[in-house]
Amino acid sequence: MFRNFQCRNCDLFFILFSVGAFIYVLTFLEYQRKDALIRKLSDEIPELPGLPDEDYSDYQELPVISEKMTSYKSKKLTSGLGRRLGQYPTPQQLFNHSAAPEFDKHMDAFDLPKDPIEFLPNYKNPCWFEEARPEDAYKANFYSVAGKDKHAVRFQEAYSRMKTILDLRKNKAGMSWRIRCLPYFYIAGFSRSGSTDIMNALLQHPHILPGFKKEVIYWNRVRLFNGFRSKGSLNTPHNSKYSPNREVSMTPAEAEELSKIPRKLNHYLESFDFQSEIIRTRVEHQSKGYHQMVFGDATPSYMWDFDVWRELDVQKDLKEPLYVVADYIASLTPDAKIVVTMRNPVDRIFSDFRAFDFYPMKTSEEFHRVTVQSINEFQSCLKKQSLRSCLYLSHGVDNLRLRIGIYYIYLQDWFEVFPKNQMFTMIFEDYAANTGDYLQKMLDFLELPRFGKEDLERVVRRPAKNAANTTIEMNPKTRSLLEEFYRPYNEKLSQLLERKLW
């Protein structure tokens, strides 16, 4: 009797165990199927039309990584280790910073607590996990509906893939999750000083991911500037030659929400969600689960262009800004690394004139005329306002952007926010003469492995990106005029950087 009783319990236990094991195997296989699909969706950057050189996104030209670089090339995670290696979140790791209106308000008041976001410790890039409702994600994101067509179509494709990934992760309550990341580094200054070529060179590194747009311009324009509405792009769906079968439509409520200032942090974060997902699914294969890959924001105008500073309530009644873009970045990522490149301001402003379409007449005579006009207007501003106030003010004829070359004021503002060991400052002429050395120094600064010899030689041999394509020469009289204008400011810069310049 006792033996029969024991066997009956054993049979019941075996049946329950078998059913449980069968359910577990089915769940595991379904999980593996979804995981494989997610990996496939995030495995490659969308192959979409190339962008102009000034936006650097010509991914087709990235060289094949040589064998000497594969020793530290990022590898995919084995799926069974995902949660232990930080690939998947625990419920305690889900923070909804981007969905909290108060978070954005505190950002604009610059009174966020110290280290407001708890970043994942085994990620080199600053990242965290958030909950997401798939049907609300990527709806009327600024970069997919209000950017240039070729830019927008890249974001549209990436957002489409990300929505599929979120749907695959959706639980019974209709909620999903995604990894959110902010840039690990910034190329924050200055325009026409080699930032495009530098970013192109850094993108040859296997640990640095490209974005879909070099200059995201979120902190200085997209967040606070409402002038985009004048182009009609907020209410006009895209249907261009680059995306003949795609249309982005918005309801009146969505269009109204997108026109509100400030535009929420979520716009910026979503523009990097695809890169963030790639970072999540790859680890350094010898690093015991450390996610080594990073990305950057190469918007050089962050350094000098903050003309919207009066849009902030905290600055409305001031004569010059108390807070600049550096304060935004530091409030969220106090350990961010900042690359700053400067060029002889006389050559920089002439490159501006030659490269952009502000002035259709590309002649030395026209350049001299607008130079005289810009200097006169700037001097008039100085009679009424402080130098710093004039530098954070867009002038009527300042399409020549004379103010950009007064580097030392802008650098002082950033040095007050970031310690000097977090800012890599270099002179473009030095970089052009010793490109290989400066690239290796930048990688040291970014705490990334250096290029191998063969790879460095290949990177250095690349043709320069975003070079002005006109051949006009500067009139010696104009050069003398600009050298005289910039001389006192260059002297202040030399003192700040403790080296002789120009």
Q: Could you tell me if 218 and 268 are in contact, meaning their C-beta atoms sit under 8 angstroms apart? A: yes
Q: pTM, whole model, 2 decimals? A: 0.83
Q: Could you tell me if 146 and 213 are in contact, meaning their C-beta atoms sit under 8 angstroms apart? A: no
What pLDDT is stored for residue 153 in this prediction?
84
Q: Reduced to 3 states, what is the DSSP secondary structure of residue 361?
A: coil
Cα–Cα distances in Å, from 92 out to 89, 130, 134, 179, 266?
8, 10, 20, 14, 21
- Domain spans, the chain: 356-421+472-502
Tokens of 393: 């003010």
DSSP codes, 203-257: TTSTTEE--S-S---IIIIITT--GGGGGTTTTS----TT-TT------HHHHHH
Preceding amide of 212 cis, omega within 30? no
Closest CA to 156 of 240, 36, 215: 240
Handedness of CA 262, 154, 270, 301 (dihedral sign): negative
What pLDDT is stored for residue 82 in this prediction?
46
Q: Could you tell me if 273 and 263 are in contact, meaning their C-beta atoms sit under 8 angstroms apart? A: no
| In 49-167, beta strands by DSSP E | 75-76, 127-132
Question: In whole angstroms, what is the distance from residue 466 CA to residue 451 CA?
Answer: 23
Angle between helices 476-497 and 364-384 (to 10 degrees): 50
Question: In whole angstroms, what is the distance from residue 14 CA to residue 316 CA?
Answer: 73
Q: Could you tell me if 126 and 333 are in contact, meaning their C-beta atoms sit under 8 angstroms apart? A: yes
Q: Write down how long the chain is.
A: 502
In sequence order, the β-bridge partners of residue 342 are: 427
Residue pointed to by tokens 């066997």: 7
What pLDDT is stored for residue 127 in this prediction?
97
Give the other-Cβ count within 10 Å of 456's Cβ.
20
What pLDDT is stored for residue 241 in this prediction?
35
What pLDDT is stored for residue 95 in this prediction?
84
Closest CA to 158 of 83, 8, 270, 294: 270
Q: Could you tell me if 438 and 346 are in contact, meaning their C-beta atoms sit under 8 angstroms apart? A: no
Question: In whole angstroms, what is the distance from residue 336 CA to residue 11 CA?
Answer: 61
Closest CA to 486 of 501, 468, 469: 501
Closest CA to 189 of 295, 304, 331, 56: 304
Q: Could you tell me if 331 and 110 are in contact, meaning their C-beta atoms sit under 8 angstroms apart? A: yes
Task: Note down pLDDT in tens along the chain; length 502 residues.
Answer: 444 445 556 666 667 777 766 665 665 565 555 555 555 555 555 543 332 333 333 323 322 222 222 222 333 333 334 444 457 788 888 888 888 889 999 999 999 999 999 999 999 999 999 999 999 999 889 888 865 567 788 898 899 999 999 999 999 999 999 999 999 999 998 999 999 999 999 999 999 999 988 899 999 999 998 655 333 333 333 333 333 334 445 677 777 777 788 999 999 999 999 999 999 988 765 567 889 999 999 999 999 999 999 999 999 999 999 999 999 999 999 999 999 999 999 999 999 898 876 667 789 999 999 999 999 999 999 999 999 999 998 765 456 899 999 999 999 999 999 999 999 999 999 999 999 999 999 999 999 999 999 999 999 998 876 666 567 899 999 999 999 999 999 999 999 999 999 8
Q: Reduced to 3 states, what is the DSSP secondary structure of residue 102?
A: helix
Cα–Cα distances in Å, from 428 out to 37, 102, 285, 463, 499?
44, 41, 36, 16, 14
Question: In whole angstroms, what is the distance from residue 432 CA to residue 426 CA?
Answer: 11
Question: In whole angstroms, what is the distance from residue 447 CA to residue 424 CA?
Answer: 12
